[in-house]
């Protein structure tokens, strides 16, 4: 749902009186928060299954994005942007951990590149829809739609990940199995 924000963020910042180009500050706030989340929180999350961390990070980002959509000032919007990034930060290391944990060594590169390709494709599709849908829903509606997409993604991950995910001991070709 990130792609849905490509037009919504500039429109929202213009609504707040900062001009469309101030959306760059919002993207920067989110990314800085993400870096903080990775550095300060990710190492503490290793005791949890990585797919659970991904679902929690996606849901946390969705919650913060919903709050972000209704902030009345630029300063509050940027502050909540940092919080949104912080919530989403552990997502990337957890995705890498899940790929490494559940992918056989000979397929790890394929799994990783396929995942990246799907993410880029989804972003591009969201970006295409962003212009039209932001015109229909408005910036706030579009940001709330993106937040709802995060909740749907987290819900799907939580309801399907636990039953279908292998553990390292299920397949002797997994890296974790060989190391243990």
| pLDDT tens per residue across span 126-154 | 999 998 999 999 999 999 999 999 999 99
Q: Give percent of the chain above pLDDT 70.
A: 89
73-105 pLDDT, tens digit each: 999 999 999 999 999 999 999 999 999 999 999
Whether this prediction's pTM lies above 0.75 is answered by yes
Residue 178 has pLDDT above 80, yes or no: no
What 3-state DSSP class applies to 17?
coil
Residue 46: its pLDDT value, please?
86
Terminal-residue alpha carbon distance, the chain: 37
Phi, psi of 71 (to 5 degrees): -65, 135
Residue (of 157, 131, 168, 166) closest to 56 by Cα position: 157
Phi, psi of 104 (to 5 degrees): -60, 145
- Whole-angstrom Cα distance, residue 171 to residue 147? 36
């Amino acid at each position: 749902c990130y792609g849905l924000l490509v037009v919504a963020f500039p429109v929202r910042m213009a609504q707040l009186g900062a001009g469309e180009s101030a959306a760059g500050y919002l993207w920067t706030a989110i990314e800085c928060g993400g870096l903080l989340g990775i550095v300060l929180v990710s190492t503490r999350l290793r005791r949890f299954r990585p797919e659970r961390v991904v679902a929690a990070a996606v849901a946390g980002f969705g919650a913060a994005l919903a709050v972000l959509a209704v902030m009345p000032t630029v300063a509050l919007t940027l502050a909540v942007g940092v919080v949104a990034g912080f919530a989403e930060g552990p997502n990337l290391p957890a995705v890498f951990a899940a790929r490494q944990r559940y992918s056989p060594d000979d397929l790890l590169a394929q799994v990783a590149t396929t995942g990246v390709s799907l993410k880029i494709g989804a972003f591009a599709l969201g970006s295409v829809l962003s212009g039209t849908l932001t015109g229909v829903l408005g910036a706030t509606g579009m940001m709330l739609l993106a937040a709802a997409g995060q909740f749907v993604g987290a819900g799907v991950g939580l309801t399907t990940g636990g039953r279908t995910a292998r553990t390292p001991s299920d397949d002797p070709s997994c890296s974790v199995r060989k190391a243990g």
